[in-house]
Amino acid sequence: MKLSLPFFSPVPAAAAPATAQPRVLSESWQVFLRNPSGLAGLFILGAIIAVALLAGVLFPGDPLDMVAEPLVWPFTQAEVLLGTDSLGRNVAAGLAHGARVSLAVGAVAAFISVGIGIAVGAAAGYFGRRVDDFLVRVTELFQTVPTFLFVIVIVAIGQPSVSVIVLAIGLAAWPVIARLVRAEFRWLRESEFVQAARSQGFSDARIIFQEILPNALPPVIVTSSVLVASAILIESALSFLGMGDPNQVSWGSMIGEGRELLRTAWYLTALPGCAIILSVLALNLLGNALNDAFNPRLRGTR
């Protein structure tokens, strides 16, 4: 359940002083807007988010309710355009409402991972020495356990609810962000604008959050898009294994329920599978485009 992270090589902070950040960000966004793959990913992701937000309007009511006879094939009845499952539930309603769960899990889990990773990586990279040694050991301890296995253990100890799944994924994925932020802070802490801030008597907290962190955020933003895609895949795998929230419909749970009818009603697994593929593809296209736009090494070659 691992996705390849975009390559992002840190560079010395002298190449990107704080005063140049607005201009650099403007140039980066211009580069992103000229990237057709990034725009395609943004369009696909925007369409999926729109369907998720409008799920209650497009398909009012509970998506787990039976609305027609079982196993109606797609495009055979106008009332259930994408067909029904073995219990007569609307597949289209499940896809729309399932998008809410899958995207929410991905976004919130990535937010938790980024929050923990920034806190750990910033402290390790800025203070160094014993603080760095201790936090690096903690990070390595978490990385020794496979992410998916770690999530399964936490969900098994707790209960298969959306909140527990989100927390488990967030706790399992933060080391990636922590190591990235640590590397950025180690480059940036000796830069000229940080030395100037120290000479003016700024506190460590102000230097970390107002001086260094804004310069270290671009690679974090790039990696976060991949974390969202990874979280969607992990949640889908948990639901497929029967460890998802039984009270919520998700793409993974739809695939899990349709696997027994794979030969006779393959659309029950193919449709939610395509939704997952499109979401992960859009996030990866978006992440690659952001990497091309914000990576200072790549920007210097254009």
Domain-embedded: residue 14: no
pLDDT of 19? 44
Domain-embedded: residue 143: yes
pLDDT of 295? 66
pLDDT of 225? 86
pLDDT of 6? 46
Domain-embedded: residue 44: no
Domain-embedded: residue 26: no
Domain-embedded: residue 214: yes
**Full residue range of the structural domain in which residue 75 is found:** 56-294
Identify the CATH number of the domain in which residue 106 sits. 1.10.3720.10
Q: Residue type for 78, please? A: A
pLDDT of 17? 46
Domain-embedded: residue 12: no
pLDDT of 7? 41
pLDDT of 90? 93
Q: What is the pLDDT of residues 253-292, one digit of tens each?
A: 898 888 888 888 999 999 999 999 999 999 989 888 887 7
Domain-embedded: residue 31: no
- Say how many domains are in the chain: 1
pLDDT of 9? 42
**pTM as predicted:** 0.82
Domain-embedded: residue 11: no
Q: Which residues of the chain have pLDDT under 70?
A: 1-25, 295-302
pLDDT of 94? 93
